[in-house]
Amino acid sequence: MPARALLNGEPAADAIIFDRACQFGDGLFETIAVRDGKPCLWSRHISRLLRGCERLGLDMPDPVLLLEETARLCAEREQAVLKILVSAGRSAGGYARDPESKSTRLLTCNDWHGACPWSDCPPLLVQECTTRLATQPMLAGIKHLNRLEQVLARRELRDDCQEGVLFDQDGRPVEGVMSNLVLKFEDHYLTPSLNNAGVAGTVRELLIDNAASLELPLKIAQLERNALFRAEALFMTNALRGIQPVAQLEDHRYRVSRRSAVLDTLHAACFTFSGDPAWGA
C-alpha cells in the first residue's frame, strides 16, 4: 500500500500528522514543573485545561487517568518538565471536526538540566516586543496550541534579554512572551486584564487567589504602557520559573529588584504539588 504521509521524504505513521493538533493547532497544552517526582500546581493546571476544553468544545481527559499517567512518567524525576497536550483528535480533512472523533492526549516528561526554577534567580533584563497580540476574547485566558505570536516575539529578543513584554493592538501591556506581568507601586500591585488576549497563568492565578489572605493589595486592571515605567518594581510569573523580579526594561531600571517576604512565600508555593491528597501537600 502506498504511503499516506511522508516525513522528511520518508514514509511516516499518520496518527500525529493527521491529528487536528498538527493540522490546525486545534487543542490545548499545559507545561508543568516537576519536583521530586510530583507535578507542581497540579490542580491549577488541570482546572485551566478543563476550562480550555469547555471553551473549545473538547472532550476533557479523565483527571484521575491524567494523574496516573503523570505519576508513571514523572516517578523518580528530581527536576523535570511535564507537558500535557490535548487535541480535537483525527482530522476529517477540513475545518469541521469529525463528530465521531475523540480527543487525543499526549504526555511527555523530560529532565530539566537548566537552572533550578525554585532557587533565587538573578533579576531579568527585559525588552518591549513589536509583535502585537490579536484581540480574541474566545481564546483569551486559555493555553491553546496556536502560539505563533509568542514564536514571533521570541525571535525579537536580544541576546542580553531573557524576556519581552507583549502589547495588544492598542499598545496596552498584556503579558510577557512566556510569562504574566505583575507591577508593584508604593501601596498596591497591578496585573493586566486578560479579557481580550493573553494566557491566564497558574502562578498569576495563585497570586490572585491568595492576595486577600496574605494582605497583598493586588488588582486586575487594563493598563497603559506608561504604567510599566511608573511602577517601582516589575515581576514576571511563570509555571517553570515562579515569580521573578525584573532589573531593567529597555533603558528603565527598577528601584526594587527583589521579591518581598509575601512574594517569597508564594514563589515557594509555585513548586509544590496540589491536587491529590494521596500524593501529599
Q: Which three cell numbers stand for residue 68?
A: 496516573
Say what the pLDDT of residue 132 is: 98
Say what the pLDDT of residue 5 is: 72
Q: Other CB atoms closer than 10 Å to residue 198's CB: what's the count?
A: 23
The pLDDT tens digits of the residues spanning 194-224 come to: 999 999 999 999 999 999 999 999 999 999 9
CA pair distance 23, 27, nearest whole angstrom: 11
- Evaluate if residue 75 carries a pLDDT over 60: yes
Q: What is the average per-residue pLDDT within 10-22? A: 81
Say what the pLDDT of residue 273 is: 83
- Evaluate if residue 43 carries a pLDDT over 60: yes
Say what the pLDDT of residue 76 is: 87
Give the residue range(s) of CATH 3.20.10.10 domains in the chain. Answer: 124-269
Residue 82: Cβ-neighbour burial (10 angstroms; 0-12, 13-18, 19+): buried
Q: Which three cell numbers stand for residue 29?
A: 497544552
CA pair distance 80, 74, nearest whole angstrom: 8
Helix (H, G, I), strand (E, B) or coil at 20: helix
CA pair distance 50, 114, nearest whole angstrom: 30
Window from 1-5, 27-31, 164-168, 256-260 with minimum mean pLDDT: 1-5
Confidence of residue 281 (pLDDT cuts 50, 70, 90): very low
Give the residue range(s) of CATH 3.30.470.10 domains in the chain. Answer: 6-111
- Evaluate if residue 237 carries a pLDDT over 90: yes
Confidence of residue 101 (pLDDT cuts 50, 70, 90): confident
For the chain, the average pLDDT equals 91
Q: What is the average per-residue pLDDT within 185-201? A: 96
Question: Which of these CATH numbers, 3.40.50.720, 3.30.470.10, 3.40.50.970, 3.40.50.300, describes 6-111?
Answer: 3.30.470.10
- Residue 69 DSSP symbol: H
By residue count, the chain amounts to: 281
Residue with cell 476544553: 53
CA pair distance 119, 111, nearest whole angstrom: 17
- Does the pTM exceed 0.75? yes
Percent of the chain at pLDDT exceeding 70: 95
CB-based contact 221:190 (threshold 8 Å) = yes
Q: Which of 115, 113, 56, 128 is nearest to 86 (CA)?
A: 56
What's the count of helices (H) and strands (E) in the chain, helices before strands? 8, 15
Q: Which of 131, 155, 128 is nearest to 249 (CA)?
A: 128
Q: Which three cell numbers stand for residue 218?
A: 493586588
Instruction: Tell the CATH topology of 124-269.
Output: D-amino Acid Aminotransferase; Chain A, domain 2 (3.20.10)
